Structure 1
Amino acid sequence: MKKEILIIEDDISLLKTIVEFLEKSGFNCTQATTITKAKKIFDKKFYPIILLDLGLPDGDGLDCISFIKSIWENTGVIIISAREKLEDRIDGLNLGADDYLVKPFHLSELIARINALLRRNFHTDKTNVRYEEIEIETTDRTVKISGEHVDFSKKEYDLILYFIENESRVLTKESLFEHVWGENSVFMDNSDFIYTHINRLRKKIKTHTGENYIKTVHGFGYKLEIH
Structure 2
Amino acid sequence: MSQSGSSIAGVPPALESNATPAALNKGKIYISKSSPQCVLDAYSLQFQNNFLIFLKSRAAEMVAGGRMVLSLMGRRSIDPTTEESCYQWELLAQALMSLVTERLIEEEKLDSFNAPYYAPCPEELKMAIQKEGSFIIDRLGHFEIDWDGGVEELTNTTLLPLSRGQRVAKTVRAVVESMFELHFGKAMMDLLFARYAEMVDDYLSKNRAKYINLVISIIKKDN
Using structure 1 for the length normalisation, give the TM-score: 0.26
Using structure 2 for the length normalisation, give the TM-score: 0.26
Higher relative contact order (CA 8 A, sep 6+): 2
Going by fraction, where is strand more abundant, 1 or 2? Answer: 1
